[in-house]
Each structure stands twice: as structure tokens, then as C-alpha cells.
Structure 1
């Protein structure tokens, strides 16, 4: 355990309440929390029993470690108000959990002498006790100055997580990668379940689960090499049939299917697994359902040569 710190959390939402509970389990006393919604109050009662709910400024004044777990767009104003009101003090540790923001957003706190840390858990939260166990092995995107790096790493270790250092200027790109992978995955899976339901499948989730488990494991292990399906096989008629039936039965899903089909097509041609002539046929089909695009000319030559050599060797 790192040096014991009294903890205050402003924003007792799904992330804040869970992290505070995790730190409490590691021996850091949680002295106060702030949360205005009924959900936040219920969450605090369940995960932080006995911890008083107070105004953000009072929480800040009571804590050695101030956790700011408010939404990204609210964070700059919260930091500014707390700093200007004198609620943040010299030597206090102020950490936020935003993926997008780094240390710049904490400049008002740093200006009064606080030790500032960006500490983002790369995990999706339910806001329940199950999340506390999930913190073990969770990767935290950390940004801190030289004087705070050991402290930041120690807090992550106390939570059972793994530290991953993210440069200040790369925080937004780091967060975009997580959001694209996790948030958009939820949308994609929900739409896929909708298509199966429309097709009369009784248990869309159960039908998809083994397929998605295998696809995710393969993608994380092998990247683009894990791609399967009609596009990478060059099955033009199958892609056309998909588009026709989705358009007729689930038109709201058509834009995302087309967008992901384009992305899959580009990557399949780029790595040489799909002949450019096949790629162009699929591109023509996709263009009928949206903006017409042209495959990269550089890829059409190199990909064709590589694919031809592979075919001859086979």
C-alpha cells in the first residue's frame, strides 16, 4: 500500500464510488463524498457506507487525496471553482479520472501548489460492488509530473491495477481508442442483436455470445489477421444480399453496416488478402447505399501482386 491518504470524491457516480471503495479497501479512509442525484446517493450508501455526503468544497477541504470523477465537460469548471474558493490547498493530491484530459485541466489546482494526476481506468463501470473486483488487472492511463509518478503508480497498485503512462499530448487520442473500441462495440452488438431478432432468432444474445467471444479474442491476439466473413472472402453477392435485406427490415442499422463494411474492405485490400478487382466490385455495391469511394490506388498494385504470388504458391 502507498502512503495512507484520506480520500474525498467529488462526483459519486459509477466510477467515483467504485474507485473510492477500492481505495478504502486498500486502507485509505474515505472521509467525504459529493453527489447530487438520487442514483449517486444510493450508490454512495451501498459502496461507501458511513461516508458523509457533503458539498464539493467541503469534500475537498477534508481530503488529502481529492478524486474528481465528474463528466469531462464539467471538469474544467469544477477545478476552477474549487481552486478559486480556496478549497484546494498546497500539497494536496488532486486526481481526475477523465480519459480525454491530462494535467492541463488541473492547472488551477497546480497553481495553488496541489500535486496533480490524471488517472483513468480503462474499464466500463456498472457502479456496483462487482466493479471492485474488476479493478484487479485493470489498466490505468496515467499522466503525472516526475514528482507524482511514484505516488500515481502506488495508487494504481493499491487498486490492483496496472499503470500505463500516457503523454499529455496523447490523452485525447488514447481516449478515442478506448471509446471507439468499447462504446461503439456496444452499439454494434446491440444492432447485431436487433438484426437477429428481426430474423426470428429466439435468443440473439446467446446466439452471438460464442461468436463474439471468439472474434474478440482473435482480434486482440491477431489484429486484422482475425478478419473473416464475406468481405475478406470477396463474396460480392452475399454483401449485396445483406444490404438489400437490412435496408428492407432494419433501415436504421444500414448506415453503420455500410460504414463498417467500407472500413473492413479497406483493411482487407490493404493487407493484400483481397484482390483489388474483387474489392472494386464490393465497393460498387456499397456505393449504391451511400457515398461512392475509391480504393487506394497504391494498394491496388501492391495488393494485387502479393495476392497473385500467394495464389501461385498455393
Structure 2
């Protein structure tokens, strides 16, 4: 961007034809902001300022953006053509309003937030001050280390932008090695819920699985789970619900009951999550014809209350005068 020549900041042709490099600032040196700024630096842009409060934020900024000064948020806006607002979702509206109210926002300044939940409407106070609003959310989990910059290559970004700024938003994403995916303003919360369901809950599931394997005496739970989970993820992405396997999809009520019994004994805090995920799996397997209704009755009974449909405690054996699976 040539910031010294006269231009119409809302002209899409002008946005497309800005060959000069931008000065970049980061407000909120969490895990995301420094990585995005470092990625833009690789594309030739120039990080000039970053704000961070905690010691962890300062360390991240020093590791990913060495020699870039730590300053106040207002000073970041004073120095940068492009400002990344990389703060928690609940903090973003108040931050934008405060920056606008204090006159920190400059006309023609690109103001980019990375919240998955919000589109550009949250930036309206800055828009009224003359800023150019963009919502660019990387669909990636971040560690706060240099590996994040490499992971941006091929990463999808959920992008929301005014029509006249779509080319500018697309260019920024591509420069970071990403792929833009256009998300309508009204669809942002649903889009973000989908990502949180898939990624955040996956971490919980994997951590719980490793914990249970360790309790079962497995010395390297991560090594055992790695190939299994990698194959399951690949199959799910390729085939969706057709990739469902395991005792729930087969309708093995006795096995599921045994699982619940073991969880009650060794990890009672995991029972509710197991039952909820098993019920969701059963519903999807039924809907897609993988689980036959006649095989589902006992299974659904187990999932309804964590006991076998016979009324025995989950995982208990039948009595001598009772066949396995026979109702009393």
C-alpha cells in the first residue's frame, strides 16, 4: 500500500493494486497475533508494533517478532497501516469501542480481527471513524510457537468483508499461505460453533482417551492412539458417517454397558461425556442405516440411564437362570 499517495480507501481497484508493503501492528500478543504478523513479514510486510500484557504474551512476541517494540494498543494503531486485533471474542467489542472513542483509529487504516464468532459488524465503531474492516479467522489451532507460521500454509480462513474490500482480504489470506472461505455475517456464530465442536472437543476426547489408556497400563498412549486417530480422521473426512465403526455403530449394547461400568469405577467424571457422544453416534448411525433399529433397542436403553436395559448395573454378568441379553 502506498500510504502517501491520495486514494479512495473504499475503491476495490485501489485495494487490489497496492503493491507496496504494509506496516503491521498487533493488539493482543496471544497465540494467534504474533504468528499471523510473522507470516505477513515473510510476505514482505513490516511488523512495527505489538501490545501484550502478560509475561507469556511478551515471550511470544519476542520469539516470533524479535526487535518489534512492545507498546500500548493506541500506539500500535498510531504506527501501523494494518492492525491485527487478536484478542478473545468477549473482549473484542469493548476493545473496538474503546479505540474508536479515544480517537486511536485512523481513516484508511485496515483493521482486521481474527475472531471466529464475529463478522465485520463488531468493527462498526471503527468503521465510523474511517477504518477499513476485515474479519479473517484462521481455521487452525495455535501453539504460540514458530511452528504455527508453517501450519498456516494451506490453512482455510473464514473471511467476512464488505464487497469493496473482498480483494484486499483475499490478498492478505493468500499472502499468509492460506485459502479464503467466504462466510456471511449472520453465519459466523454457526461457522465458529462447527470449528469448536470439531477441534476443541477433539482435544478433550483425545486427552481423556490417553488418560484411560494410561490407567489400563499402556506405557505410550500417544503412540497407540496416533495411527488409530489419524486413520479415523482421514476416514471421517473422506466418507463422513459411513466411516462410523465400533460397538455403538454395531449395536453392541453389552460392550457399551461394560464400558460405562468401567468408567464409573475408574473415571466417573467421563461417564456423562461418553454417554452423550455414544448417543450422538447412535443417532447418526440409525439415521444413515448403519445401525439397525432391532439392534438399537438395548443400546439405547444403556445410553438412556447408564445401565443395561435389563436393569442390571452396567457391566454386570447375567444370573445363572438368565441368558445373556435376555430381559427379566
TM-score, structure 1 as length reference: 0.90
Structure 1 residue runs without a partner (length 5+): 293-314
Describe the superposition over 1:127-146 as per-residue Cα deviations: whole angstroms up to 9, x where unpaired.
Answer: 11111111110100000001
> Offset of 1:278 from its aligned partner?
1.4
Distance 1:268 1:116 in 2: 43
Cα distance in structure 2, aligned partners of 1:141 and 1:2: 24
Larger Rg: 1 or 2?
2
2:85 counterpart residue number: 68
User: Out of 199, 213, 223, which is 1:196 matched to?
Assistant: 213
Give the alignment partner of residue 104 of structure 1, picking from 83, 106, 121.
Answer: 121
Is the 8 Å Cα contact of residues 2 and 151 (structure 1) preserved in structure 2?
no
Deviates most, 215-224 or 236-245: 236-245
Task: For 1:69-88, list aligned pairs within 5 A.
Answer: 69-88=86-105
2:290 to 268, 273, 277: 273
Aligned to 1:154: 171
Residues 199 and 2 of structure 1: is their aligned pair in 2 closer, same or farther, counting only changes over 3 Å?
farther
1-structure distance, mates of 2:183, 2:192: 10
Pairwise CA distance, 1:288: 2.5
Offset, 1:199: 1.1
1:204-260 C-alpha deviation (Å, 9 max, x unpaired): 111111110100000011000000001111211111111111111111111110000
Cα RMSD after superposing both structures: 1.3
Q: Which of residues 123, 129, 138 is equivalent to 2:155?
A: 138
2:302 is the counterpart of 1:285: yes
Residue 32 (structure 1) aligned with residue 24 (structure 2): no
Residues 19 and 171 of structure 1: CA distance in aligned 2, closer, same or farther (over 3 Å): same
Query: Which of 171, 174, 185 pairs up with 2:188?
Result: 171
> What CA distance in whole angstroms lies between the structure 2 residues aligned with 1:21 and 1:11?
14
Q: 1:259 aligns with which of 263, 276, 291?
A: 276
Residue 2 of structure 1 and its aligned partner are, at CA, apart by 5.7
Match of 2:252 among 229, 235, 247: 235
Q: Is the 8 A contact 1:2 1:155 kept in 2?
A: no
Are the equivalent residues in 2 in contact too, given 1:97–1:120 (CA < 8 A)?
yes
Matched residues in 1 for 2:100 and 2:277: separation? 45
More helix by share: 1
Contact kept? 1:2, 1:154, Cα under 8 Å: no
Please list the CA deviations of residues 151-189 of structure 1 after superposition, one character each: whole Å capped at 9, or x if unmatched: 000001110110000000000000000000000000001
- In structure 2, what is the Cα distance between the partners aligned to 1:129 and 1:275? 49
Indicate which of 110, 118, 122 corresponds to 2:139: 122
Distance, in Å, in 2 between the alignment partners of 1:163 and 1:238 is 44
Aligned 8 A contact 1:2 1:158 in 2: no
Any idea what SS the aligned residue of 2:32 has?
A: helix
User: Take 2:163 and 2:249, find their aligned partners in 1: how far apart are those partners?
Assistant: 47
What SS class does the counterpart of residue 14 from structure 1 fall into? coil
User: What's 1:50 paired with?
Assistant: 67
Partner of 1:95: 112
**TM-score, length-scaled by structure 2:** 0.87
**Equivalence for 1:206:** 223
Match of 1:301 in 2: none
Aligned residue for 1:164, secondary structure, equals strand
Q: Which runs of structure 1 show a deviation greater than 4 angstroms over 4 or more consecutive aligned residues?
A: none
Distance in structure 2 (CA, Å) of the matches to 1:267 and 1:257: 15
Q: 1:67 aligns to what SS in structure 2?
A: strand
Residue 306 of structure 1 corresponds to none
- In structure 2, the residue matched to 1:182 is 199
The alignment partner of 1:80 has SS state of helix
